[in-house]
Amino acid sequence: MAGAAEFFTLKGHGGPVKGLAEATDGSAILTASFDYSVGLWHDGQPRWLEKHRAAVNAVEFAGPGRAISGGDDFDVILWDLDAPADDDPGKVLGRHAGKVIALDVSADATMAASASWDGTVGLWPLPAPGETASGATRAGRLLKGHDAGVNDVLFSADGSRLYSASADGTILVWDVAAGEPLRQLVRHGFGVNTMVLNEAEGWLAYGAVDGVTRIVDATTGDEIADFTLERRPILAMAGDPGFTTLAVGDGEGFIMLIDTASWTITRDFRATLKGPVWALAFSADGSSIHAGGLDDAAYSWPVGALDEPTQMVRDARSFLRPPEEMSNGERQFQRKCSICHSLTPGSARRAGPSLAGLFGRRAGSVADYSYSPILTGSDIVWNDDTIDRLFDIGPDHYIPGSKMPMQRITGAGDRADLIAFLRHATGAGSISQFKQEDTK
């Protein structure tokens, strides 16, 4: 990280990287991952911040020695980055009633904002500069004004206004002190996922579910430029420190760079063979662009050397393989289980425990995995019947309160094929043998 404008990766997470941020002095990078953890990286080495109970979607620095994160557990957590290694550096700053998808911090680091799929915007006062994350904080507020989940939030430069983008297709401008919307800046036909605001030049960029990448006047909402291509959805945006370059990441794995002086596309490259670009951030000096996606690593490229960039996820995730290359049971595993669970011993940094030796094992008993309290001393033993029941009614009903995300496999035949695959893949039979035996 110390060498400017060099390609590098940050490897160590056990799941896709969903969020990224770099400190304003370039001294550290934050990563948010599906593996429930936040990575704090100095010179390529991580310190793991672990308090979330589900996937972490967003991270931001919150002034010197502090950071915030938000996740699928509905929590916004404030981190004391200078806390000793044996202390608990995290404090729950606030809680939504749905997933926290995006965060922003005011320029003076006195207020944090959160965007949640519960349809609200969260405003959370931060401890005064110099206080630790364990210092007293005033109660936060949840602002209601959107008709669907909120996907992004941005403070104005002076912190008096807040911009929020929603799945309802609107961007609202809020009075922070009053907690009330001032006006609707944009009404788009599809959900708006991400924004970048340059108040000094008077523009706001947004990206939407239908692939629209548009620049509008930050006061009137009038269109300034449009860079919509035949790729969708737009999932991530970032501006360099001087807002001279705008980066746009989409669901098809491309990163587009836009010159904001001439409003022209300067680079448009495939960052990953398959899968989305979920997170983007520029380095503090603007010389590099960091990205996160399906891989268990964050990638960074020099902005000036993107003609033939190294690609993320060079070996595509197994669940993205063509369906005809897998048996039905393996397809069910790859699509429903493989992001969280490994088939080999060792839970590493994954969101779920290893499935090695699954059958006959009591739930909550893998030594190297931190389970939800609900599974402590569980009476469930994993076998054909309990696995079938788990996916028939869904984890949220079978083990309410566990970390396992809501998902079902409604077809009895599909569940039977998954169970047969797991028996071979986690027991005496090898996966390759099973592929040959299963002709479905």
pLDDT at 432: 37
The secondary structure of 11-46 as a DSSP string is: E--SS-EEEEEE-TTSS-EEEEETTS-EEEEETTEE
Same domain? For 265 and 323 the reply is no
Instruction: Report residue 369's pLDDT band, with 50, 70 and 90 as the boundaries.
Output: confident
Buried b (16+ CB within 10 A) or exposed e, 231-267: bbbbbbbbbbeebebbbbbbbbbbbbbbebeeeeeeb
pLDDT at 346: 84
Domain of 340, in residue numbers: 318-437
Q: Has residue 436 got a pLDDT over 80?
A: no
Q: Is residue 234 part of a domain?
A: yes
Establish how many alpha carbons lie within 13 A of residue 257's alpha carbon, considering only the half-sphere containing its beta carbon.
24
pLDDT at 106: 97
pLDDT in tens, 90-122: 999 999 999 999 999 999 999 999 999 999 999
Same domain? For 215 and 254 the reply is yes
Q: Has residue 356 got a pLDDT over 70?
A: yes
Q: Helices marked H in 326-411 — which ranges?
A: 328-336, 384-393, 395-398
pLDDT in tens, 278-304: 999 999 999 999 999 988 999 999 998
Structure-token match 């596309």, residue found: 265
Domains in the chain, number? 2
pLDDT in tens, 398-407: 998 777 877 8
| CATH number of the domain residue 361 falls in | 1.10.760.10
Q: Has residue 315 got a pLDDT over 50?
A: yes
Mean pLDDT of 176-184: 97
pLDDT at 382: 95
- Alpha-carbon distance of 169 to 330, in angstroms, equals 37
Q: Is residue 345 part of a domain?
A: yes
Q: Has residue 151 got a pLDDT over 80?
A: yes
Q: Has residue 388 got a pLDDT over 50?
A: yes
Q: Is residue 2 part of a domain?
A: no
pLDDT at 316: 54
Instruction: Out of 253, 271, 302, pick the residue that ends a domain.
Output: 302
pLDDT at 313: 58
The secondary structure of 162-199 as a DSSP string is: EEEEETTSEEEEEETTTTEEEEEEEE-SS-EEEEEEET
Same domain? For 353 and 286 the reply is no
* Element spanning 433, H or E: helix 431-437
pTM attached to this predicted model? 0.85
